[in-house]
A and B are shown apart, each in its own frame.
Chain A
């Protein structure tokens, strides 16, 4: 479904990604793990069209998208749920969700989609008229995820949904990711929380200093010496 080949990216003169290649098949739940500053967020921003790669290709559903604009990419069915929520804090919860349904095709169905999203996140429905900034951290993450689903994407890129949340809320978020995967949505999850991530994803890539150093099915990675030492602390 998504294929990245030979991708490099830089902020000005500082190169952040070095010759990355990765692949996500339809229906897969793939994780990208690595330490802070490894380049995970940059990779997602490059895939979703916020940033331009310096070299390399990105193919989504058979179409090249490395030069496409962010708004065209979400129209194609690839939704990016950004790091640190990035909610429209001065708009209500309902309006944030409506913005998620902005592409014309999903705008027409926004009411039905919203019912589905409220089913996944019942707490959002209770507070639908409140401003987004009045929500707690966990609720804000739920809203960010709900908003990212409002365009009825075929695939979602999720950046650090567990960041800054209490352990109980993190587990809730991971449960929701599991159920989205069951509904047939292809997922590329970026996480620093390596232990929990390797428990729910099918496959994972390990990113270090802008380079992919390891990849494989999660059960295999959990047993790898490198992962155990560097990320699981055992």
Chain B
């Protein structure tokens, strides 16, 4: 029983992290049409900034989110307001823009990863934070804390999209950017905010990952691949779909890891293929 409970809790945590990362990617692609293959690099940056703050000034990794999230938001906002906006304005149509922006994102991936490698090298680190277990449980306390943060961030983001003026502007722009413009929405500004928010979600996930799993400067790409699977699984452009897809994949991952760790990646693709056969447009796709 304890094993089942642990699998579920760890699965939910991992699923929640996948969900944050995937919602971030979905914001960038679903609203802004940027297939950001460098998305995972910002998980790595979030993780290493948290690690660096922890090891240099002993800053609590949860508290460091208040630094990493805004920092990465600003980086994302600037990247969109300069690089991607320019590409979009010069592209004759959205298909060309999608191709070009993906190539630009590849460039970003190498730049981010190599700068990180110059600073931190390629060894493995981990932030030692609350890694004792609660009495009677097998799970380290830090996982429960991370799960709580994931839930808080997920709920806060959902409320932001559902209730606020900017949240509604984002949702309407995802459905029909031209008409959103007619309503008074400044599309350029919404796209830059979405890109920044998407990366900030990755950054928050990175801060949490830094004290739950080992981190390396090359860790980004594996998360990008998972996020892409989740985004397609959830239905392209659907934020809710990305949340549900992330949680499903997280739980599947933990179940498989429990019995046969080397099969995890295979399991992702099996779930992916089976779900797409059943629902070709994804969980929330239309």
Contact = CB atoms under 8 A, between A and B. Distances in A.
Interface in B159-183: 165, 168-169, 171-172, 175-176, 178-183
A151 B168 CA distance: 16
A50 B182 contact: yes
Interface residues of A, number: 25
Given A91-B168, A95-B168, A107-B165, A100 B183 contact: yes
B184 interface: yes
Central interface residue in B172, B180, B185, by most chain A CB within 10 Å: B172
Contacts of B178: 50, 70, 86
A69 B175 contact: no
Interface string B147-166: 00000000000000000010
Given A98-B168, A99-B168, A107-B165, A90 B175 contact: yes
B182 A70 contact: yes
Contacts of B186: 69, 71
Contacts of B75: none
Interface residues of B, number: 17
B168 A82 contact: no
A103 B165 CA distance: 10
Contacts of B180: 88, 99
Nearest to A157: B182
Contact of A102 (B169, B171, B175, B176): B169
Given A71-B187, A88-B176, A102-B165, A50 B181 contact: yes
A118 B165 CA distance: 21
A89 B175 contact: yes
Contacts of B171: 88, 90-91
A57 interface: no
A75 interface: yes
Q: Helix, strand, loop or mixed for chain B's interface? A: helix
Interface in A51-94: 69-71, 74-75, 79-80, 82, 86, 88-91
Nearest to B189: A71
A48 interface: yes
A90 B186 CA distance: 20
A71 B182 CA distance: 6
A90 B168 CA distance: 11
A203 interface: no
Given A102-B165, A107-B165, A82 B181 contact: no
A60 to B, nearest CB: 15
Contacts of B181: 49-50, 69-71
Contact of A88 (B165, B179, B184): B179
Contacts of B187: 71
A4 B250 CA distance: 58
Given A50-B178, A107-B165, A91 B183 contact: no
Contacts of B184: 71, 74-75, 102-103, 151
A75 to B, nearest CB: 6
Nearest to A148: B182
26 contacts: A49-B181, A69-B186, A70-B182, A71-B181, A71-B183, A71-B186, A80-B182, A82-B179, A82-B182, A86-B176, A86-B179, A88-B172, A88-B175, A88-B180, A90-B171, A90-B175, A91-B168, A91-B171, A91-B175, A98-B168, A99-B169, A99-B180, A99-B183, A102-B165, A102-B169, A147-B183
Interface of A: 48-50, 69-71, 74-75, 79-80, 82, 86, 88-91, 95, 98-100, 102-103, 107, 147, 151
Closest 7 CB pairs of A and B: A70-B181, A102-B184, A103-B184, A86-B179, A74-B184, A102-B183, A88-B172
Given A48-B182, A69-B186, A70-B178, 12 more contacts: A49-B181, A69-B181, A70-B182, A80-B182, A82-B182, A86-B176, A88-B179, A102-B169, A102-B183, A103-B184, A107-B165, A151-B184
